Copies of this chain bind each other. A is one copy, B any other.
Amino acid sequence: MAEERELKVRALLDTVRAEGRTALTAPEGKVIADAYGIAVPGEELATDADQAVAAAARFGGPVVLKIVSPDILHKTDAGGVIVGVDGEAAVREAYQRIVDNAHAYAADARITGIQVQELLPTGPDTQEVIVGSVTDPTFGKVVAFGLGGVLVEVLKDITFRLAPVSVDESLDMLDSIKAAEVLRGVRGAKGVDREALAEQIRRVSQLVTDFPEIAEVDLNPVIATPKGALAADIRVILAEGEQKQRRKYSREEMLTSMRRLMQPSSITVIGASNEQGKIGNSVMRNLIDGGFTGEIHPVNPKSDDILGRKAYKSVTDVPGDVDVAIFAIPAKFVASALEEVGRKGIPNAVLIPSGFAETGEQELQDEIVAIAERYGTRLLGPNIYGYYSTWQNLCATFCTPYDVKGGVALTSQSGGIGMAILGFARTTKTGVSAIVGLGNKSDLDEDDLLTWFGEDPNTDCIAMHLEDLKDGRAFVEAARETVPKKPVVVLKAGRTAAGAKAAGSHTGALAGDDAVYDDILKQAGVIRAPGLNDMLEYARALPVLPTPKGDNIVIITGAGGSGVLLSDAVMDNGLELMEIPADLDAAFRKFIPPFGAAGNPVDITGGEPPSTYEATIRLGLEDPRIHSLVLGYWHTIVTPPMVFAEVTARVVQEFRERGIEKPVVASLAGDVEVEEACQYLFDRGVVAYPYTTEKPVAVLGAKYKWARAAGKLGGGR
């Protein structure tokens, strides 16, 4: 069946192509709609009144009757159209009337028959919507859904998904527009047939998946009613030209070369130098000072010894198997050196030099890509600071070594952002597994790294700064593979028109439509960071926080004012304040002053001793109905910051040893001593920030976004 319809559409599209057209006619559109079961108003040609009656009966509602005659051009003038004909008698009568009218209009007109068309529903329970598909430059085939009409056009209330979509994903699209409520029926109107509508979306998504040459499909409008969804019009446009294919590597090939890149035994530095200030010198020193214990082989045609290591004239002279060749030579020498690297069978070339596509030297870049593809050598860069693999004590950069090992892998498309990552990580003592510069992404890009970090046991969380995705579909695939195991954070730069323009002149990034990025990254379960600092904070905190087991969040606060702001933050992040059951409320009340407020936030009031903080936090961790704690601390003489920090860390640790792990985040309001207290807490698994009620909850929100995407919250939302 599926095969038959594909043959039918294939034949049709081939004909259209053969005629040199890209736009399909309305009847051609109908053929495609019928083949894919995309509901459009039924229409049949009747050659006698009985057939017309039968057709109308099949449509089951009022119909339009129209004369079909090669001799009658202006159907209406000829009395050849009757609208809203309902019931057998009426159809029979209308059929005859049209035939009579036609003969009266032009006595010798040849009458092919009468077309019987299903009438589009109208009325208060109908809703105009739009279903479509476009070919996105980043993500390829994408389906879109939105309400129709001028208001929604102005308000741009539309949602996107990667095609193909399942019925469940389509149903989720119906709920993803801002005006979703309208589809469920408001002001007494009935809701529309959600399944029928979702089915329309699914079928369009299947169509464009089966026929990649279809650039655009537009069902506009689709008339949705409580009983169905009919596309009043279907417009299909074919693509022009073909896209060139890049060499593809299998998942196994990808992982093999990535493993050798991130866990190398032997590294060679092409352009290693004894001269301070040269990149080839910085890289060598960083490899050595960073404590890398594998082999390090400098290559320099003019020296025999670099920083006390034997240097080779050429990479081909380097003994044994080499995993990574780091290029610290000017752009113009890269191609010939890369040939040698390829010949030696080195699987990874790390191209630090700039002077390629980013400065307009696209040809030079194409040349090295061609060489690499020939040998199967993977390229990182060019135009990068290098990369860190901390668990290998590997600092293959011209920056400075970084030694706080931990669970987050960070990547950046831009070198400046890479430096911000390094500084932030160092000042906050963020535990890092890797930092990787991607630069021009001539070959290796986010999907390769994601695939690797997804498997890397040292990595618990991945955070990526990017200006574009070379292959959005491969990224989504890698993200879908990774997200069930660990959170993926993305900072997409160039979100706005001005940012996209800047990205274009910076890395030549094709920023793409941000609404599409937003919906599809969400669909892939990726946490999108709104800004650079948010990405860095998420990266620091997500590996520290345990995964929540449910949606019930309780705020325990000494500062009522913080409680209010923390509640706002909980709502802002789409989280849920637990409705405290009566017994739990009573249990909290036992610990707090009579004028404190139980409920949620639990306001223990500012004058309380450490024991009150301890008792309430203990209760929050103990009760299995509570899934996460948000703490608001108020600096007082009775409970100074470090006392609060010690109590909290101790209790959290005690429960952890008992196997009870819940996310605990804290906002500390107080004098400067709270800063030390926050670092103390952070080091002990409590995500704590001074002078802000927003950050701790934003981080918790990010963790929940991941937990939901990874299916960790049971039924959840």
A residues whose Cβ falls under 8 Å from a Cβ of B: 147, 149-155, 157, 178-179, 181-182, 186-187, 189, 277, 282, 355, 358-360, 399-400, 412-417, 419-420, 422-424, 426-427, 465, 467, 493-499, 501-503, 505-507, 509, 530-534, 536, 555, 557-572, 577, 594-595, 597, 599, 601, 603, 606, 632, 634-635, 637, 669-675, 690-695
Contacts and interface: CB of A to CB of B under 8 A. Distances in A.
A571 B497 contact: yes
B498 A532 contact: no
A532 B419 contact: no
A110 to B, nearest CB: 39
A715 B164 CA distance: 51
Contact of A533 (B179, B467, B606, B694): B694
A359 B671 CA distance: 26
A498 B570 contact: yes
Contact of A420 (B359, B501, B505, B669): B669
Given A182-B154, A531-B693, A564 B494 contact: yes
Given A147-B151, A154-B179, A568-B493, A416 B672 contact: no
A632 B415 CA distance: 13
Given A414-B559, A561-B506, A567 B670 contact: no
Contacts of A557: 416
Given A493-B565, A567-B502, A599-B505, A634 B178 contact: no
Contacts of A503: 564
B691 A533 contact: yes
Nearest to A503: B564
Given A416-B561, A420-B669, A420-B670, A595 B499 contact: no
Contacts of A415: 559, 561, 606, 634
Which 5 A-B pairs rank lowest in CB-CB distance, beginning with the nearest?
A: A414-B561, A416-B559, A359-B595, A506-B560, A496-B571
B149 A151 contact: yes
Contacts of A465: 561
B567 A671 contact: no
Contacts of A577: 498
Contacts of A426: 671-672
Given A571-B498, A595-B359, A691-B533, A412 B150 contact: no
Contact of A532 (B155, B533, B673, B693): B693
Nearest to A691: B424
Given A498-B577, A693-B532, A564 B669 contact: no
B669 A417 contact: yes
A666 to B, nearest CB: 13
A174 to B, nearest CB: 14
B692 A562 contact: no
A420 B673 CA distance: 11
Most buried by B among A400, A494, A505: A505
A533 to B, nearest CB: 4
B568 A495 contact: yes
Interface centre among A413, A415, A557, A594 (most CB of B within 10 A): A415
Contact of A671 (B422, B534, B674): B422
A140 to B, nearest CB: 24
A453 to B, nearest CB: 21
B154 A181 contact: yes
A154 B497 contact: no
10 contacts: A151-B152, A155-B155, A155-B157, A358-B595, A415-B634, A427-B672, A506-B563, A506-B597, A507-B561, A530-B694
A531 B561 contact: no
Contacts of A423: 635, 669-675, 690-691
A467 B507 contact: no
Nearest to A577: B498
B502 A563 contact: yes
A635 B692 contact: no
A412 B606 CA distance: 15
B671 A187 contact: no
A124 to B, nearest CB: 9
Contacts of A399: 671
Contact of A499 (B420, B534, B564, B690): B564
A154 to B, nearest CB: 5
B416 A632 contact: yes
Contacts of A672: 423, 426-427
Nearest to A439: B561
A427 B669 CA distance: 13
A534 B509 CA distance: 31
Given A567-B496, A694-B532, A559 B505 contact: no
A533 B668 CA distance: 12
Given A532-B692, A561-B467, A568 B494 contact: yes
A427 B179 CA distance: 45
A505 B432 CA distance: 42
Given A494-B568, A502-B563, 15 more contacts: A151-B182, A154-B186, A416-B557, A423-B673, A423-B691, A426-B672, A427-B691, A493-B568, A498-B567, A502-B601, A505-B560, A506-B564, A506-B597, A532-B565, A533-B693
